[in-house]
Amino acid sequence: MEASLSKHLLYKGCVMKKSVNMAKLRTNMILTRVGVSAAALMLAGCTLAPNYERPQSPVSGAWPDMRIGVPPEDQQGLIASDLSWQQFFGDERLKRLIEVALENNRDMRVAILNIERARAQYQVQRSDLLPSVGASGSINRQTTGSGGRSVLTDSAGNVIYNPLSESAQNASSYNTYQAAIGITSYELDLFGRVRSLSAAALSNYLSTVETRKATQISLIASVATGYYTLLADDELLKLTEETLKTREESLQLTQLKFDHGVSSELDVRQAETLVESARSTLAQLRRQRAQDENAFMLLIGGPLPADLPQGVSFAQQMTSLPELRAGVPSDVLVRRPDILAAEQQLVAANANIGAARAAFFPSISLTASLGKASGDLDNLFSSGHVWTFMPQITLPIFTGGRNIANLEVANVDRDIAVAQYEKAIQSAFRDVSDALAGRATYDDQLTAMRALVMATQKTYQLSDLRYRNGVSSYMDLLDSQRALFDAQQQEITAQLAMLNNQITLYKVLGGGWSQQDEERMSEEMNNAGRSSSDGDQQSAQTN
């Protein structure tokens, strides 16, 4: 069954790739029967990996809001993938914090080391395409009896040892010295097994490179989100402290009125309720601020630097971010590093099928050496030549179904990679769609919240005036105070959500990677390589 399947794979792989006609295929099959080596040499250079074709996109050709909004070609704004993070963010303080995070964040370090590891694995796999050349030396000591008549010669016919010679009449033992250089078990990659594995290793390496880019983009967005969250926390703390101060003053005034019999004890207790509620909110916000700062320090890899430049206020942050153009999915999604990483994994799985198919065909390996041999160490390199040449061919006849099972595994892995690639595209499509939906609604929400704050502010002023004139009850004044505080909090929260959505849109559109980052990554990888070499040298010196 495996022999039949191997013929089918040969037809699907090498013959389809090299466009060999059916007559030549039959000739090769006959030659395989007569002489496997000759037939294999005719097929040298072919590979059994399937031709890679990018799967069809499983998403629509337009974003959801584009179907009812402005056509993509009429959009205004900048393209996120063409905009470096230094250009996108206008806050110098935030830029400095992003630089610190890129240098110190541990996830970034792991991503860089993963690239170095994948590159080393690719180099290991690629080395199998070349023969391994090594030098060897040996000494062989033998003992002969008094009646020994054996004459030892090298491959050229030169006498190494003659027991009848005068110098050997009384000898009972002799030494043979050999020195050679040769190739050990070099596989002739006739059916592309080694090349397929090398191609898979290369794709895995390229996948880690794209993953490192995606890690940086995600880190930049997380740092910006954390930074804006801290600014919002400060705004909420400031608002709550001012509210608490106002409520404490109101409580003192109400207590004074109660002491003079102008106000009731109920008014005093209600004022106390608002004061304690503000104190509770203040304690909660202080705790949240400390936790957010701890999370932010984890992102940047350490404490906040002391030499940070002056930043932009929270109220001015939206004006410091440029407007982005959504583009069309076919252009945007293929630029995202996470999708490119998933595609490289698919390419690697496709190459592994070629390696699994090649297991059905003969494997030819060569071992050869050339050197010198002598019975006298001083005359070793002036003696005759010694050479060996040992080709070996292995043809799978019965493997208990192992090769078939390995091929099935490779095919299933490829199908899994296809599904993961399609899911990556679908997830990216949803991310962009959600961010675009947020951009279309957060502006309206923030505008409404600002109008609400103005309305509640006016309501509070009127309630306070009516209470002082004895027209309204103290309960109406307290209700207007609570409504104003809630509206002011919601306005800050809405502004933070709008900022975070703009950052998310920049991230999901592929922004956050530039030519400067390419140069930085090359330098990081070179530094990692030098550090690894220095470590190896120190280890060798220690040993």
Q: pLDDT for 328-379, tens place per residue?
A: 888 888 889 999 999 999 999 999 999 999 999 998 888 888 776 666 555 6
Task: Give the residue, 437 or 468, on which the prediction is more confident.
Answer: 437
Instruction: Report which of 164, 165, 160, 163 is spatially closest to residue 177, judged by C-alpha positions.
Output: 160
User: What is the pLDDT, as a whole number, of residue 165?
Assistant: 54
User: What is the pLDDT, as a whole number, of residue 76?
Assistant: 67
371: left (phi over 0), alpha (psi -120 to 50) or beta: beta
Instruction: Report which of 117, 187, 196 is spatially closest to residue 410, judged by C-alpha positions.
Output: 196
What residue type is assigned to position 274 of the chain? L
Lowest mean pLDDT among 117-126, 176-185, 320-329: 176-185
Task: Give the residue, 151 or 283, on which the prediction is more confident.
Answer: 283
Average pLDDT over residues 192-206: 93
Running DSSP on this structure, what letter comes out for residue 159? E
Task: Give the residue, 286 or 386, on which the prediction is more confident.
Answer: 286
How is residue 367 written in tokens? 């071992």
How is residue 144 written in tokens? 């002969």
User: What is the pLDDT, as a whole number, of residue 268?
Assistant: 92
3-state helix, strand, coil in the chain (%, to 5): 65, 10, 20
Residue 217, pLDDT > 70, answer: yes
User: What is the pLDDT, as a whole number, of residue 293?
Assistant: 96
Average pLDDT over residues 167-195: 74
Residue 42, pLDDT > 70, answer: no
Dihedral sign, CA of 99, 513, 217, 348? negative
User: What is the pLDDT, as a whole number, of residue 153?
Assistant: 54
* Average pLDDT of the residues of the chain: 81
What residue type is assigned to position 183 of the chain? I
User: What is the pLDDT, as a whole number, of residue 471?
Assistant: 86
Average pLDDT over residues 462-475: 87
User: What is the pLDDT, as a whole number, of residue 132?
Assistant: 83
Q: pLDDT for 482-527, tens place per residue?
A: 999 999 999 999 999 999 999 999 999 998 887 777 777 777 667 6
Domain chopping of the chain, boundaries: 1-46
Q: What is the pTM of this model?
A: 0.79
**Sorting pLDDT into bands at 50, 70 and 90, what band is 197?**
very high
Task: Give the residue, 131 or 379, on which the prediction is more confident.
Answer: 131
Instruction: Report which of 214, 469, 460, 188 is spatially closest to residue 343, judged by C-alpha positions.
Output: 214
User: What is the pLDDT, as a whole number, of residue 65?
Assistant: 59
**Sorting pLDDT into bands at 50, 70 and 90, what band is 533?**
low
Q: pLDDT for 286-337, tens place per residue?
A: 999 999 999 999 999 998 888 899 999 998 988 889 989 888 888 888 889 9
User: What is the pLDDT, as a whole number, of residue 543?
Assistant: 45
Lowest mean pLDDT among 44-48, 57-61, 312-316, 396-400: 44-48
Q: In the Cβ-directed half-sphere of 155, how many Cα atoms lie within 13 Å?
A: 11
Distance CA 161, CA 171 (A): 11
Instruction: Report which of 482, 497, 484 is spatially closest to residue 444, judged by C-alpha positions.
Output: 497
Dihedral (Cα; 519, 524, 528, 534), 10-degree rounding: 80
SS3 351: helix
Residue 33, pLDDT > 50, answer: no
Dihedral sign, CA of 432, 434, 437, 443? negative
Task: Give Cβ neighbours of residue 419 (< 8 Å, ≥ 6 apart).
Answer: none
Burial class (CB within 10 angstroms; exposed 0-12, middle 13-18, buried 19+) of 349:
buried
- Supply angle C-alpha 118, 121, 124, rounded to 5: 155
* Radius of gyration, CA atoms only, the chain: 39
**Sorting pLDDT into bands at 50, 70 and 90, what band is 187?**
confident
User: What is the pLDDT, as a whole number, of residue 377?
Assistant: 56
DSSP for 482-495?
HHHHHHHHHHHHHH
Beta strands per DSSP E along 295-384: 324-325, 363-374
Instruction: Report which of 328, 326, 329 is spatially closest to residue 504, judged by C-alpha positions.
Output: 326
327: left (phi over 0), alpha (psi -120 to 50) or beta: left
**Sorting pLDDT into bands at 50, 70 and 90, what band is 93?**
very high
Distance CA 431, CA 441 (A): 16
Average pLDDT over residues 411-421: 96
- Supply angle C-alpha 89, 90, 94, rounded to 5: 65
User: What is the pLDDT, as a whole number, of residue 331?
Assistant: 84
